[in-house]
Chain A
Amino acid sequence: MSAFLAEHSLIATSIVKTVVLLFLVLTALAYLTWFERKVVGHIQSRWGPYRVGPHGLLQPLADGLKFIMKEDPFPIGADKFVYFLAPLLSMAVALTALAIIPFGPQEITLFGHTSSLAIVDLNLGLLFLFAISSLGVYGVSLAGWASNSKYPLLGGLRSSAQMVSYELSLTLSVVGVLLMAGSFSLRDFIQHQQGWTWHFLPRWNLFAGPLPQILGFFCYFVAAIAETNRAPFDLAEAEQELVGGFHTEYSSMKFAMFFMAEYANMVTVSCLATILFFGGWLSPFPVAGSWSWTLYIPAAVFVICGLMLIWDGITYTTNIGKVELVILGFALTGVGVLAGTSFAISFVQGPFWFLTKVLAFLFIYVWVRGTLPRFRYDQLMAIGWKLLLPVSLANVVLTSLALVVTGR
């Protein structure tokens, strides 16, 4: 058995990494719905989910159970094959894009095969990502068409037009970063951003390099929100006009797949924003010298959160909360203590900072949704073609100019 594994170590490692990543990502996606409802709830002076489990922590489980148990009706006259294909396609494309995201600088060795903290490390990582995400529009448009119903069709048409328009600005907005790094590999992007200006400002692409990529980041983030069909660009599912948009006729697990695809796309886009503009897994502090205490930040964050959870659990009103929150708190504290040991401390840094930045972006996503009203359709098209496209083109020209002038 071990000889077989050693011989096919590449395939075995890939399978193990894929399974682990899928498990983590699908769990994270479920809890992202909880996170979003909680944050939007508090923005609107509500509690958000509160009844299922302490602080509504078991809500994703209840939702999942409901999705599985629900009746799965099939609209009359719908195209059966395409109707089933559309949610699968959405979900498959959204999850495949996550395969090339590197979560940390370290290498892990499994079955005698050393590989990085990503499922694959492609030379053309960014191009691959764009290629995969350009296929995502089919899930939405085909779902709208196959439902044989007017609201989904309109929603599908709207969102395909929107995604095609914004893909252009999305792709152009990262060209500046591409030119500065001189590579397509996501790993190279991050390594390019190492170092500090004036010993305290990290050389992240957002505020360093020949030309700070502030314009590029602005275009990227606006286009990314539109590309993932999120508020304020969620015209595809404008409730007041189109019921549910392209997924009106879908229910049960097929609807859940669209939902998960949307959240997976949000995660991908946030990961890419972190990698391209915010230094990926690099810590915002210089690690050497008098700043070496920052190495203990991950451990401290986990321990403090864990202790707060334990305290909250002890004073919680329901009995299940008293048990669950305390257990969770102890688990978090344990992880924190483990992260502080000399064995794990350097390994934890990369993933910790990476995931922290990604979580910050996801929070901004939800924040934007809770704050801004939806754009009108003509405004949406005007923003895409008359604002974002010229600005991102100007960014490409300015960055190339700056590169030529500084002679890099």
Chain B
Amino acid sequence: MMMILFFALAAIAVAGAVSLILQKEPIHSALSLIIVMVALAGLYLLLGAEFISAVQIIVYAGAIMVLFVFVIMLLNAGNEERTNFSRMAAYIGLPLAAVLGAGLVYFVGRGSQQVANPEVVTDVTRPLAMMLFKDYVFPFELTSILILIAILGAVVLARREGDSE
């Protein structure tokens, strides 16, 4: 049962990723990315990481991708165009992708014997909270300040010249 679910979700994720690249309409690409995110959340759920799975959907599928879709709708982005350069990229990119895939298959296949069954943790939220807000509270807060600075920077950059307070 778990095996069937795993392969179904994995297939959905890979299909979504491929469709993300191949779609010409930006909204379709964004939708494919959402499918990938939801399938990944399902995979996390299979691993017993309920919290990460829920957060994956809330943050990535529910917040970040909403902004993507929003921006695409606002800018009314047109279809992608095939240029000479993008065709050239395909000639180089496809063999490189094949090499990367082969490498991944080889190394993952070689390493799979060493992976033991992880022990199932039922209460995942508490240890995670302890780590975030106790053990690693300083780096955590530092990251949030970094993000705040990035937001302020974006506001400053987006403000037009000559705008007064």
Contact = CB atoms under 8 A, between A and B. Distances in A.
Interface of A: 79, 81-82, 85, 122-124, 127-128, 130-132, 134-135, 137-138, 141-142, 144-145, 153, 156-157, 160-161, 164, 167, 184
A381 to B, nearest CB: 15
Contacts of B58: 127, 130-131, 134
Given A134-B63, A135-B62, A141 B73 contact: yes
Interface of B: 25, 27-28, 31, 34, 41, 50-51, 54-55, 57-58, 61-63, 66-67, 69-70, 73-74, 122-123, 125
B27 A127 contact: no
**Taking each of B50, B58, B125, which has the highest tally of chain A beta carbons within 10 Å of its own beta carbon?**
B58
A138 B63 CA distance: 11
**Taking each of A127, A144, A167, which has the highest tally of chain B beta carbons within 10 Å of its own beta carbon?**
A127
Nearest to A182: B126
B7 to A, nearest CB: 19
A160 B34 contact: no
B70 A161 contact: yes
B84 to A, nearest CB: 28
Q: Give chain A's interface secondary structure class.
A: helix
B122 A156 contact: no
Nearest to B67: A164
Given A123-B122, A134-B62, A135-B62, A141 B54 contact: no
A157 B62 contact: no
Sorted nearest first, the 6 A-B pairs with minimum C-beta distance are A134-B62, A131-B57, A127-B54, A131-B54, A124-B50, A131-B58
B20 to A, nearest CB: 15
Contacts of A131: 41, 54-55, 57-58, 61-62
Nearest to A11: B1
Given A131-B54, A135-B62, A145-B27, A124 B125 contact: yes
Nearest to A163: B66
A145 B51 contact: no
Given A79-B27, A164-B66, A153 B50 contact: no
Contacts of A132: 57
Contacts of B27: 79, 82, 142, 145
Nearest to B34: A138
A156 B72 CA distance: 13
A141 B30 CA distance: 13
6 contacts: A82-B27, A134-B62, A142-B69, A145-B27, A156-B73, A157-B73
Contacts of B74: 157
A124 B66 contact: no
A184 B66 contact: no
Contact of A124 (B28, B51, B61, B69): B51
Contacts of B69: 138, 141-142, 145, 160
Nearest to B56: A131
A141 B27 CA distance: 11
Contacts of B31: 82, 85, 142
A378 to B, nearest CB: 18
A177 B36 CA distance: 33
Contacts of B41: 131
Nearest to B65: A138
Nearest to B73: A145
**Taking each of B41, B51, B57, B62, which has the highest tally of chain A beta carbons within 10 Å of its own beta carbon?**
B62
Contacts of A144: 73
Nearest to B126: A182
B70 A153 contact: no
**Taking each of B31, B61, B66, B74, which has the highest tally of chain A beta carbons within 10 Å of its own beta carbon?**
B66
A397 to B, nearest CB: 15
B47 to A, nearest CB: 14
A114 to B, nearest CB: 20
A29 B20 CA distance: 36
B113 to A, nearest CB: 32
A79 B25 contact: yes
A145 B69 CA distance: 10
B66 A141 contact: yes
Contacts of A157: 70, 73-74
Given A132-B57, A137-B62, 9 more contacts: A82-B27, A127-B58, A130-B58, A131-B54, A134-B62, A135-B61, A138-B34, A142-B69, A160-B66
A156 B73 CA distance: 9
A15 to B, nearest CB: 15
